[in-house]
Structure 1
Amino acid sequence: MRLSGRQISCVRGGREVFSNLDFEAASGEVLAVVGPNGSGKTSLLRLIAGLLVPTGGAIGLEGGEAELTLPEQSHYLGHRDALKPALSVLENLAFWRDFLGGDIGDASQCLTAVGLGHATHLPAAYLSAGQRRRLSIARLLAVRRPVWLLDEPTSALDIAGQELFVGVMREHLAGGGIIVAATHTPLGIEASELRMGAKR
């Protein structure tokens, strides 16, 4: 499986964020998207996820499920955690599992895998920032998709959480998955880099 972009251009709010951008990542690989604030790291992830439309170029996935679009084969984990505070930890994860569909994993096992097995019935409103991030990571496990698009994935995670997440990423890659991560900090895993430059 191979994810690639050719001559990608992005305009937001009438401003060209980047242009003529090429990238590539194959099964078992991590592409770290690095660069200063405003250089288009998040915009690139959103383009791959189908949340934005490129103004030029093409993005494609070779070797995936032919009847599914790239967004249907991707998980987009934004820098904000999409959780409903009044729902429990388990209810939040079950919502995303049901909403996303696909190859569904056991929600309780997924929460245990990210260190939240003890908090399944706790309302999400009571979670710390790091625990909210762990719950968002559990979503990646609850519904299996080959392409992970991660925006600052280790933000708010303590050292133990970062180490746990490295293990989660390694398992995904070992299964043939692809990771594209926008990050300001090292991911703790071997990755090739795509450097973005800020437009003036």
Structure 2
Amino acid sequence: MLVAESLSLERGGRQLFEDLSFSILPGQLVQLEGANGAGKTSLIRILAGLSRYGFQGEVSRHGGMLYLSHQSAVKSLLSPRENLSWHVSGEGQYSNAEIESALTSVGLYGYEDVPSHALSAGQHRRVNLARLYLSGSPLWLLDEPYTAIDASGVSALEALFAKHVTGGGAVLLTSHQRVDVNCPLVRLDLSAGVMS
């Protein structure tokens, strides 16, 4: 689904990573690891085609992709329903029932039409994560998906990741916390440049 060849990135006179090559196959969940400042967010933005920084190397993707940043992409003047209608408009048309089901899946039943500026940071994050329940993209690139999510929300996400991967999709995520999924997990250590 994705092939990265000889990726290198230098920023501020510091080499974040160099000559990094790997591939992500259907049925894989890959956790990108590394210390703060190692370049995890920069790498995932390169893989998503969103990097503003010059880098060397090549990235090729096969099939659709969904990218979720570590920052919530929720518009505060819109309701959760309106945010999801706006975000998913490029992927397909979803009914109100499908959007309500996605919001229910992330624990936001009853908040569908509340202005998002009245929601907490964790609820904003859940609105963003509801996109996963609507997405038909086979490849998910997720930067710190557990941010501002409680333990039950993390468990629900991990079950969703396992379902997506066992259904032939693939997930690459960054996280500082342990990923506990009921499917094979591959770790990519950005510091060492190796997959295990």
Structure 2 length as normaliser, TM-score? Answer: 0.87
Q: Distance in 1 between matches of 2:67 and 2:41?
A: 10
Tell me the equivalent position of 1:47.
Answer: 46
CA deviations over 1:76-131 (Å, ceiling 9, x no partner)? 11111011112111111111011x22475721221122221221011111222222
* Pick aligned residue for 1:74 from 57, 61, 65: 65
8 Å CA contact 1:9, 1:55 repeated in 2: yes
Output the CA distance in 1 between the equivalents of 2:40 and 2:5.
16
Count residues in correspondence: 187
Cα 1:151/1:142, change in 2 over 3 Å: same
1:179 correspondence with 2:171 = yes
Return the alpha-carbon distance in structure 2 between the equivalents of residues 108 and 57 of structure 1: 41
Q: Which residues of structure 2 form unaligned runs of 5+? A: none
Is residue 79–residue 151 contact of structure 1 (8 Å, CA) maintained in 2? yes
- Tell me: CA distance 1:87–1:103, structure 2 relative to 1, closer, same or farther (3 Å): closer
The offset of 1:60, in angstroms, is: 1.8
Aligned twin of 1:68: none
* Equivalent position SS for 1:76: strand
Q: How does 1:1-200 map to 2 (within 5 A)?
A: 2-13=1-12, 15-52=14-51, 55-61=55-61, 64-65=62-63, 73-98=64-89, 100-102=90-92, 104=94, 106-189=98-181, 190-197=184-191
Which SS does the other structure have where 1:118 is aligned? Answer: coil
Contact 1:9/1:54 (8 A) holds in 2: no
Deviation of 1:3 after TM superposition, in Å, equals: 1.9
Contact 1:104 1:144 in 2 (8 A): no
Deviation at 1:196? 1.6
Following superposition, the deviation at residue 14 of structure 1 comes to: 5.3
Structure 2 residue matching 1:144: 3-state secondary structure: coil
Distance 1:74 1:103 in 2: 17
Aligned-residue RMSD, C-alpha: 2.0
How far residue 15 of structure 1 moved from its aligned partner, in angstroms, is 4.2
Instruction: Check conservation: 1:152, 1:182, Cα contact below 8 A.
Output: yes
Q: Do 2:103 and 2:127's aligned partners in 1 also have CA atoms closer than 8 Å?
A: yes
Give the percent of matched residue pairs that are identical in Structure 1 and Structure 2.
Answer: 36
- Please state how far the C-alpha of 1:46 moved relative to its aligned partner: 0.3
Contact 1:103-1:144 within 8 A present in 2 as well: no
